[in-house]
Structure formats: C-alpha cells, structure tokens
Chains A and B, each alone.
Chain A
Amino acid sequence: MSHDANPHGTAGTKGAVRRFFTNNLVTLVFLFIGIAGLRVSGLALPFFIVDIVDRVARNGFLVLALIIPVLAGLGLNFAIVLGAMAGQATIIFMTHWGIGGIWGILLCMAISFPIALALGVLTGRLLNKARGKEMITTLILGFFANGIYQLVFLILVGTLIPMKNETLVLSSGVGIRTTIDLTDGLKFGLDDLLRIPLPLFAILCGAAVLGSFPVRSVLRKRALAAREKTPLRDGVLALTGLFLAGWGIKNLVVESMYSFIRVPAGTFLVLGALCLFILFFTRTKLGQDMRTVGQDRHVAEVSGIDTDRIRITAMVMSTVLAAWGQIIFLQNLGTFSTYGSHEQVGMFAIAALLIGGASVAKATIGQAVVGLFLFHTMFIVSPLAGRALFGDAQLGEYFRSFVAYGIIGLSLALHSWKKHMQQKQGAGG
C-alpha cells in the first residue's frame, strides 16, 4: 500500500476539499438530512435548541463509552446494554431506599461500579472465546442479558428476593413496575447541580473550542509520529468556536428568549472530564498497549502484551462507563421504563457514533460529539417532518428506526468491504 504514502503533500486545496468530502460523506449526508428535516418540520429554533442540548447532555456519556473498545480492536460494543442494566439496577435500589439528589447520584455510581466491573470481566472473557466474532457476540449478549434482567426484576423480585415497596413493586407483590418515576429522587440530581444560561454556555463552549488549538498544537509537537495536517477541519472548528462565542456574547448583551434557556452545565462538565480522561488515557502505557492490540494482535503478543487481559480491561472500562452513562441518562429523563430504557441504548449510541464518521476500527471524541448532534437532530425532527411530509408522524418514526438500523448495517458493510479490498490489494501487490 505504498501508493498511499504521500496523499497530503502536493494535492493542494482542491485535493483537500475532495478528501474532506469523501472522508466525511456519511456525516455530510446526515448534516443535510438534519437541516432539511428542520426546515420541513417547521420547528422553532429555540425549542429545537432546548431539546438538542438536553439530548446531547443525556446521551453523551453513553456514546463516549464506546470509544475504548474500538481502540482495543473489539469493534462497536453492543454490550454497553449490560452496563446500562447495572446502572438501572442501582437506580432501583436508590429509589427503594429513597436517596436522591447529587449524593444519590454519587452513591449510585459507586454501587454500580462493582456490578459493571463484574459484568465487564464476564463479557471480556466471553469475547476472548469468540475472537473474530466480537460484534455479533456483544449484540446477542445484550439480548441474552436482557432476558436475565427481566427474570430478576420481573419474576424474582417478590418471590425469591424479598422487597416491600408499594411504589416500586407491582400490586401483585411480584416484579418491579414497568415505569418508575424519579421525581423527588434522582431526577436532575446531576443536572440541577449547576445550571447556566444558554448564551453563557455558548461562550464557554466557543472558548473551549478555540482554546483547544494551542493545546492540540503542543500535543502534536510532542507526539512521535507527525500527525496529518487538516486545514479544512481546523477551519470549520475555528469558525464554529468563533460563531458560538459571538452568538453567546450577542445574546448575553441583548436579552432574548435564548437567555431563559438554562443548560445543565454540571452534566456537561462531567462529559468534558470524560473526554479529557479518554484523551489522557490513550497516551498512557495501558492506552498505547490497547492501541497495539487493536492494530495487530500478533505484534502485540510478540512484544509481550497480555492481549486477553487488555481486551478484558477495555470491556470493563466500557461497561463501567456505560453504567454511569445510563445513570446520567435517566436522571435527566426523570422517569424510566424498567424493561425498555436499556434495550436500545446500544443501538442508538452506536448509530450516533457512526453518523459522526467513526468506523469499527477508528472512533474519536470529535466524531462522537458531531454524531451526537446529527443523530439527535434527526431524532427530534423526523416525526415532525414525517407529519409535515406524509401527514403521518408514524412514518417519520419508521424512517428514524430505518436510519438507525440502516446506518449501522451500511457502515459495518462499508468497513468490512474496505478491509476486504485492502487485503486483496495487499495479496496482489
């Protein structure tokens, strides 16, 4: 594959633009769908912004939980569903004990940690037995674990596990109710910690985006291999940062209806901390080992890395993060469907990541953030657009689930197709 050695040198701006388009085709298509859907749906911008900010806060952690297994070569971890179940189990305990607020959230995270850890170890061990079939295994494992989860909370609670709580247990005395209200409990436990007006939040975001440039240039200098230069992406980022900051300042000075939108900044702080952690982690010895295992297991083994152990570690981290992610998700939502909230967590998180331009072998924080915005834009507008276009909101929902499933199927197919072609070329030349 030597003909690919210098793709960035002489091509110039035209080449750069074309490369930007081919590399980000999926993302751009969804950007278009999102904008078109927003126009068609006739949704007022402030309502849309309230919704999208909320959804990004709610789902961000879960999407970020997917990055580490991709790094370790395990592909997209559909088994974050298991982590989500661990999170939900502890939320049920908390609601039973009547602990709420930020302390409830922290306690929840602490208790879900060992559960998620154990589940992660089990998942990792299973995946070490099912090498080469990791993704389908995590997918089926999610379905399997869902059965066990139902068995525990629908059948065993009240029969084998004694539990007396009228608000939680069904009137027959067996099984947890299908929906649990978290009001007066964990609801907004993290979100209400710190709420700031949207314009201020926009200024902070803009500052963070612009501030990332000097940090990244330092990191780039320190990195051993020279990173590729991405002028177009940098330009887009800089413009976004400037726009956010400018828009924020304008709305802060001239009070508008945006000033009354209050953003859960605490949750975003936690998200930011997780992003920083992942960045930091990929630069540690363990992170580098994980990357080696992900790129080539044989090379990793020759250089003395215990690949099985690394893979288990990656699954444990992902499962624990997913458990915490589900806790953050549900405290924002405020009510949860005991037997349904976790089911589609894996699928939605993965679809979001893929729409951001990630693949089975590569996923970055930037892709996660972009994907979150685009996927949830589609989520918000598609029922409304469906009603406006076809006179039927249901059609919009079918379209939405078609896109979620289709994007996963298609990008998995594209990825293995690409790999297939590369292998062919490698064998040929």
Chain B
Amino acid sequence: MNSPTVLLDPTAELHASQRQILPRLSSLAGATVGLLDISKPRGKEFLDEVEKQLSEAGATVKRYMKPTFTRIAPTELNQKISVECDAVIEGLAD
C-alpha cells in the first residue's frame, strides 16, 4: 500500500503550470488601442475618460462594443479588434 496515490485532474487541463503572457507594449506613442465597452450602464463615461488619457499619451483609440455584457464577445468582434489594434482595454463596469 505504499504506492503513490494517483488522482485524476478535474480541470480542463488548459494550463501548463506556467502560462506565458503576450509581450507588453513598450510605449503608447503611435500605438492603436481598442476600448471594448461590454454594454453595461455608464461604460461610456468611464471609457471616454480612458480614451482622453490614452490620446494624451499619443495613442490612437478605437472604440468597440459587445452586444450584451451577459455573453462573451462574438468571435468576429474579437478578430476585428485583433486586426485593428495593438492592445485592447476591456471596459468593465459596476
């Protein structure tokens, strides 16, 4: 009975023990940054302020919106953002 206990992994096994993050932008100047509004109330006010600050830092800002906050963004929208932007900020609310 000294054999090691074996358990089966209950997770989706999506992750190795360490996950690499994408390289960060070294500068905002000249970069295109997407702002994704998740369609919660007052997301616009918050993202307007973020846009203002990003613009002052020299970034070009593009705005996007999810159809509803309750569901994940449609693949087409994700692809559009990935094609058009160097980075994205998802605007959570509440």
Q: Do A and B come from one complex?
A: no
Q: Which residues of A contact B (CB under 8 A)?
A: none
Q: Which residues of B contact A (CB under 8 A)?
A: none
